[in-house]
Amino acid sequence: MIKRLRFKLAMSAAAMLYFSAFAFAQKSSFHLHSDPEQRIRIAPESVFKSFREAGMKPADHPLTSVEKEKVKNAFAHLTPLHQRILKQHLQSISFMDNMPNTALTSPVDTGGAAKMFNITFRASLLNENISQWATWKENSCFKQDADSAYSVRVEGGNLDAIIYVLMHEATHIVDAVQDINPHPAHATDVVPSTPFTKGIWLRMNVPAEPYIDTLLEQTRFRSGKQVPISQAPEVYARLAKTPFPSLYAMAAWFEDVAELTTIYHLTTKMNQPFYIVVTKNDVEQTRFEPMKNVLVKERLRQLAAFYEP
């Protein structure tokens, strides 16, 4: 969930609707290190507070030398635009144990004119590859019936999951700094489109009318509820008729740009696979491969700025 001013964790059907969020702005006096991957700090107190108030026991996770190397490698794979923006606007990165969601991007109040941010990651992410993590996330959308013969799997390659998640979260910062998306005060506000949202989104979390589908509206990132896994083949068949690269991208335009940028970079620039396979009794029923979707491919010209030197 992206909220410009706060992150609220509610233990309800929609509590885990999204896997990343903006949190309360937190005052900080840290001085920037020249290399963003070395700006490792304890997460802002507001982040700890959010989880504690939800009955959890979050804890800072000191990185091992192996984990630090994975983080450094993930930063090295970012686009030129990500590199430039993070060098100027990333205040710190943090890793946390006992964190329920994957990552959290939070504005940090430094008292200066520049927008600054912290990204907090669930530390166990460092032990997963992209396929493992993405499969877990995708399966959160479906009710796993005990006798179901259906299975949903994401093939995203064997690279570290932190590569995917860092790019997704870093794109939120790029978006916040460069206004790739509009940033309305309220989700219900109708505001002028940007080139990225024109014809795709009506409001921050409402797709344009041609892409509102009754089944897709029932999925977790639209409704907060799971659908039976037996409906997965039809879910992805419907998704293939939209310009969205993933179910998560349908949550809001903030997630849309983060997912589109990350999946494009992973597949086109890093030569990794990314597709979702639904099987029944181990027989493939549906395959959703976003970068082969004509409607998705028509949007890729919007990503050119990420690669300008």
User: Using CA of residue 125, residue 223, residue 262, residue 291, what is the dihedral sign?
Assistant: positive
What does the pLDDT look like over 279-297, one tens digit per residue?
Answer: 999 999 999 999 999 999 9
pLDDT at 226 over 70: yes
Give the pLDDT score at 33. 58
Q: What percent of the chain has pLDDT over 70?
A: 89
- State mean pLDDT over 203-222: 98
Instruction: Determine the Cα–Cα distance for residues 99 and 121; give it in Å rounded to an integer.
Output: 8
Confidence (pTM): 0.90
What does the pLDDT look like over 58-115, one tens digit per residue?
Answer: 999 999 999 999 999 999 999 999 999 999 999 999 999 999 899 999 999 888 778 9
Q: CB of 118 within 8 A of CB of 106?
A: yes
Give the pLDDT score at 113. 77
- State mean pLDDT over 148-176: 97
- State mean pLDDT over 177-192: 95
Give the pLDDT score at 145. 81
Average pLDDT, the chain: 90
- State mean pLDDT over 46-67: 94
- State mean pLDDT over 130-149: 92
Instruction: Determine the Cα–Cα distance for residues 195 and 272; give it in Å rounded to an integer.
Output: 28
CA distances from 8 to 45, 52, 128 (A): 14, 12, 26
Instruction: Determine the Cα–Cα distance for residues 151 and 87; give it in Å rounded to an integer.
Output: 41
Give the pLDDT score at 78. 98
Give the pLDDT score at 110. 80
Instruction: Determine the Cα–Cα distance for residues 252 and 192; give it in Å rounded to an integer.
Output: 16
Give the pLDDT score at 5. 28
Give the pLDDT score at 148. 83
- State mean pLDDT over 119-144: 97
Give the pLDDT score at 9. 32
Q: CA-CA-CA-CA torsion for 207, 212, 218, 223, nearest 10 degrees?
A: 20
What does the pLDDT look like over 6-38, one tens digit per residue?
Answer: 333 332 323 333 345 444 445 444 556 569 999
What does the pLDDT look like over 227-285, one tens digit per residue?
Answer: 999 999 999 999 999 999 999 999 999 999 999 999 999 999 999 999 999 999 999 99
Residue 1's pLDDT band (cuts 50, 70, 90): very low
Give the pLDDT score at 112. 76
Residue 49 tokens read as 């507070």
